[in-house]
Amino acid sequence: MKNIQLEDFTKYNFLSSLNFSPKGDTACFVVSNCNLEDNTYDSNLWLYDLTLNKYHQLTAFNKERSYIWLQDNETILFQGVRDSKDKKKLEDGDEFTQFYKLSIRGGEAVKAFKIPMLVETIVEVDEDTFLFTGIHKVGRKSLIGLSDAEKVEELKSRKEEKDYEVLDEIPFWSNGGGFTNKKRSGLYKYVVSTEEINLITDEYTSVMSLELSEDKSKVVFAASSYKDKAAINDELYIYNIKLDELSLINGEEKFSYSYVNFMDEEKLIVLGSDMQEYGINEDGRFYLIDINTKIKTLLTPDFDKSTWNSVGSDCRYGGGKSIVRDSKYLYFITTEIDSSYINRINIDGNIEKISFNKGSIDCFDVKNGNILFIGLRNQKLQEIYSLKDGSECEISKFNQWIHDELKISKPERVEVETEPGVVIEGWVLKPVDFEENKKYPAILDIHGGPKTVYGEVFYHEMQLWANMGYFVFFCNPRGSDGHGRAYADIRGKYGTIDYHDIMTFTDIVLERYKNIDVNNVGVTGGSYGGFMTNWIIGHTDRFKAAASQRSISNWISKFCTTDIGFYFVDDQNGGTPWSDEDKLWYHSPLKYADKVKTPTLFIHSEEDYRCWLAEGIQMFTALKYHGVEARLCMFRGENHELSRSGKPKHRIRRITEITNWFEEHLK
């Protein structure tokens, strides 16, 4: 067995976007790999034949990630740029999405159609009609329907404006999306034979999801419409495709919808929250809405679980479904304590848990009762599994070599009562070649969110450090997901009860694991974990070194500079810079920067609009001003997702910076 090396993650296979064919006899999925030479990711489509129980590669162009099945059950429709002329046009500022068709029986992909805008989601109504969500900019001339001469003039005009960014609304940018001022994701109808494209929604409306009725005569979706300042509440619409009629189903109350679908011809099932009890992060409940009367009925009043996968890992690339309707059931993921599971609900509100193994279910699909999912199990990386009658069967072996060839430290569970009635769970990874008579340095790793969880799944950076002779320990303090709404609610308490939980957990770990050198313990974390790292170094000197990543240091600046700040900060802290400046400053790590003695590395991406670069710069400047050893490494062209989906070479540099910092200060 070999030790895990820093660059081993570049050899991992990342699986995503698992979808059954219309008949359910075949499934398509995406396999992605790091391409170090081009500093990007290669992604290709693969097929799994349920009858033969075999999987094989379908494409090899290395650029296929976004696709759908067509209704003939034989054809994949995917986005791509395979033509050198198309590539040159895009480089020169043209704007379009090219779609290709590819038979699953083999042969070459052929061009299907081209839509003159950036397409996000597309669904097939019939062989000649598609609905899609596409990005347009309010007030800017669309390329749809322009003559060649008109298009040349419009693109020339846009090119002349590329050096300027005019802002007149908030948010004006989004993490991973760049500047978004006046940009909306509208619902469009496209007729292939005539190339006719029509905008269905208002130009100020952004559509978040699309679900077709079984007869494909209607589509239901959640959307939001705003001018000047984005609203946090959503509206529900049904579009009758044949009649070309758009109807508002629900939009008068403050409500956030995370999912909506047809349960039958007369009822919608929705997942959402009024955000009244626990704020914007409040877990949703299931409701039925009568399409005719528009009356909404709560199905699950006592349901207290999150309906998504919150289990963290740095070994994913791409997404997939977390909620699926099949026949009379709606299937969905819940996060419970430290793992995610598949459940299903019927029209009467009865919920049934149908998966039971610990770990992470990253995405899944259901067809005719058959269930496939991509998951992290038993300290393995992602594989495809089938699920039947509560039993799982591993289908793929994309990452089996890692389990067979590399040394992997098994997490040891540690439960700690941090105060009467409050028990948190955590884990310790021992160094892989652990010896009882030796002392080892240790690293405390803190997750982001805070409403996510750590679990017993493979984490590359943690396993790397365990392979380099470190203890690694981590936990789910209050504020984490998996324990219900009340446990996750730390609004107005950042840096108090969560800090207490983490420090108490640290005390117990150091007490139980005598081989940890208490004088050589480091701390790191990203996003909320970066906030907590900043908070910790301003409140204790117990850590020998720290690495703060994509952090928050100042709630006041976060309010005014980030994509979610203007509503997230108020919600999480109970104040704005004008209503309660003292409270925001009290909970800001920057306030305590003059108390810091811990050598600290800061990692931040220049395009991180979730926790903007200014957050890391402020804390770094404060430490340097007060004579504390500090280092700031900034990443150009990266955003808040650097550690998970950043360019491969940038991810290598990030881990190198952190690891070298701890090697220098803890050994």
pLDDT in tens, 489-535: 999 999 999 999 999 999 999 999 999 999 999 999 999 999 999 99
Which residues have C-beta within 8 Å of that of residue 609, sequence separation ≥ 6? 173, 174, 175, 562, 563, 639, 640
Q: What is the DSSP string of 487-528?
A: HH--TT-TTTHHHHHHHHHHHHHHHH-TTEEEEEEEEEEETH
Contact in structure between 56 and 331 (CB atoms under 8 Å)? no
- pLDDT computed for residue 168 by the predictor: 98
Q: What is the CA radius of gyration of the chain?
A: 25
What dihedral do alpha carbons 60, 61, 66, 67 form, nearest 10°? -60
Of 405, 383, 377, 378, give the one whose Cα is nearest residue 396. Answer: 383
Pairing of strands 440-446, 516-526: parallel
Alpha carbon distance 557, 548 (integer Å): 18
Q: How many residues does the chain have?
A: 667
Percentage of residues in the chain with pLDDT exceeding 90? 98
> Side by side, which strands form the sheet with 323-326?
323-326, 329-336, 339-345, 351-353
- Asked whether residue 604 carries a pLDDT value surpassing 70, the answer given is yes
- Encode pLDDT of 287-311 as tens digits: 999 999 999 999 999 999 999 999 9
Query: Cα separation of 362 and 319, whole Å?
Result: 8
Distance CA 141, CA 259 (A): 32
Cβ neighbours of residue 405 closer than 8 Å, sequence gap 6 or more: 1, 2
pLDDT greater than 80 at residue 251: no
Beta-carbon contacts of residue 352 (< 8 Å; ≥ 6 apart):
343, 344, 345
Between CA 188 and CA 119 the distance in angstroms is: 10
Q: For residue 253, what pLDDT is reported?
A: 75
Query: Tokens representing 209?
Result: 């999801």
Neighbours of 48 (CB within 10 A): 20
Residue 252 has pLDDT above 80, yes or no: no
- Residues 6+ away with beta carbon under 8 Å from 411: 379, 427, 428, 429, 456
β-strand partners of 218: 240
User: If 0-12 CB within 10 Å is exposed, 13-18 middle and 19+ buried, where does residue 600 land?
Assistant: buried
In single-letter form, the type of residue at position 274 comes to D
Q: Tell me the per-residue pLDDT of 40-57, one tens digit each, with 9 for 90 and over.
A: 999 999 999 999 999 999
Q: Residues of the chain with pLDDT > 70: what percent?
A: 100
Return the amino acid letter for 26.
Answer: T
Q: Where do the domains of the chain lie, and which CATH numbers do they carry?
A: 117-301 (no CATH), 407-666 (3.40.50.1820)
Measured CA distances, 330 to 22, 29, 103, 368, 495 (Å): 17, 21, 30, 12, 38
Q: What is the pLDDT of residue 231?
A: 87
Mean pLDDT calculated for residue range 615-643: 99
pLDDT digits (tens, 9 = 90+) for 343-399: 999 999 999 999 999 999 999 999 999 999 999 999 999 999 999 999 999 999 999
Kindly tell me the burial class for residue 159, based on how many C-beta atoms sit within 10 Å of its own C-beta (0-12, 13-18, 19 or more). exposed
Q: How crowded is the C-beta side of 123, counted as CA atoms within 13 Å?
A: 19
pLDDT per residue as tens digits for the range 169-200: 999 999 999 999 999 999 999 999 999 999 99
pTM attached to this predicted model: 0.97
Question: CA-to-CA distance for 370 and 538, rounded, in angstroms?
Answer: 52
Pseudo-torsion of CA 656, 661, 666, 667, nearest 10°? Answer: 60
